[in-house]
Structure 1
């Protein structure tokens, strides 16, 4: 499947900015799952490209002029191959054991750990068992927008019993780590005609072969392995490490943000 993607974030401020710096994690990489045919990112200032510690393509933008609005725009074309497996072959990718460590957003408390153990025996972890765990998380943390925020932790979402794809991914990642399975958070896009709210999506990857550094992508919201509908954008220990746009500012007063993501088939 060939997908054309447009992702725009607009900022409006009640007062002029004095200074701002933004980090953009909006550039996908080619892998066994996908081939990036073309991609462009623009921001309110000059962009400086780099690779972060998790192997993601990053851009940094500094805005020194006074402004009351800003715009970040990413667009391109990606061909997906429906492979749920990726292998960390690049030398800039960290070892799988890094993703065993709990993080503030993806940590497991005792109830979550005990619940995970009831669904998955670490010694018997394979693709089928991991899929069963993903289905369990989806049923335990129902997809219900408006119940959580970007700061909600895995234990909070688990106890509350509802959230969005970010929360479901965090609970799954925390459960896997508590069982000794390296797992990481994935930000990306999902082609769902008629459901634009799902265009910006999140899922998880679990490493079932640490020697080969081979990861299986799991969409917890849909309780399935990732397929040709998914475009993998960035990975990290949790959302905070690979948020599409993050930064700091001085001035600006109150901020209002508008985000729009559209995905269409370019081969239809």
Structure 2
């Protein structure tokens, strides 16, 4: 499936912005799953490209002048191949056994993973664990935020894709199974709020660096609807945009994501506005 994607993030400030620094993980890379035909990223200042510690192509930019607004844009055309299997020898697999603040497991999550993974990691066992996570942590937009941990989402019994991924990661790593967070896009014309998405790679064959991509939220393996952007230990490690600022007062962020099959008319599939006061 050939998909055309446009992702725009606008920032407006109630007071002059004095300084801003951002890191962008907004560039998909070629893999067994996808071919990137074209892709561009633009920001209010020159972009500096580099590979981060997870192998992602990241860009940083900084701005040191007064401004009341800015915008970051990313987009292009990606052809997906519906392959949930990936071989990735770029990063030591042991890295993805490490727990983080967002993926700490207690005895309940360790037991959850043990029930499904004790006899080894297969496609069937990986999917069974995904179903168990989704059965407990129901899809519930607005119930959590980006700082919600796996344990908090498990106790609340609700969350969104990043929470499903964090719970899954915690259960895997607590049982010695390497697993990593994946950020990306999801083509769903009938569910526009899912355009920005997250799922998990679980290492099925460590000796061959072979990973299986599992979408917990949809209860399926990664298919032609998914476009991969970046991987990391958790959301905080590979979020599409993260950064710091000085000044600006209250910040209003508006996000628009348009995903369509090549040749289809452009229709925005996801739009979100969020106002945030500066940190004290």
1:190 maps to which residue?
186
Number of the residue aligned with 1:105 = 102
SS of corresponding position for 2:102: coil
What's the TM-score, normalizing by structure 2?
0.92
Does the 8 Å contact 1:11/1:69 carry over to 2? Answer: yes
Distance apart, 1:116 and its partner CA: 2.5
The structural deviation recorded for 1:113 is 1.3
Out of 77, 80, 91, the residue aligned to residue 94 of structure 1 is: 91
TM superposition shift of 1:123 = 3.0
Deviations 1:92-117, CA, capped at 9 Å, x for gaps: x2211110010111121122112332
Query: How many Å separate the matches in 1 of 2:221 and 2:101?
Result: 26
Partner of residue 171, structure 1? 167
1:3 aligns with 2:3: yes
What is the match of residue 228 of structure 1? 224
| 1:233-259 deviation digits (Å, cap 9, x = unpaired) | 100000000010000111111111111
State the distance in 2 between where 1:123 and 1:100 align.
18
Deviation string for 1:149-190 (max 9, x for gaps)?
000000100111000000001101111111111000000000
- Paired position in structure 1 for 2:278: none
Report the 3-state secondary structure (helix = DSSP H, G, I; strand = E; otherwise coil) of the residue aligned with 1:68.
strand
Q: Equivalent residue for 2:30? A: 30
- Note the 1:180-259 alignment, pairs <5 A: 180-259=176-255
Q: Does 1:67 align with 2:67?
A: yes
Structure 1 portions without partners, runs of 5+: none
Instruction: Find the counterpart in structure 2 of residue 44 from structure 1.
Output: 44
Aligned mates of 1:214, 1:267 — CA distance in 2: 34
- SS of equivalent to 2:75: strand
Provide, for residues 210-232 of structure 1, a one-character-per-residue CA deviation record: whole Å limited to 9, x for no partner.
11111100000011110000001
Which contiguous aligned blocks of 4+ residues in structure 1 show a shift greater than 3 angstroms? Answer: none
Give the TM-score normalised by the residue count of structure 1: 0.96
CA distance in 2, matches of 1:38, 1:194: 26
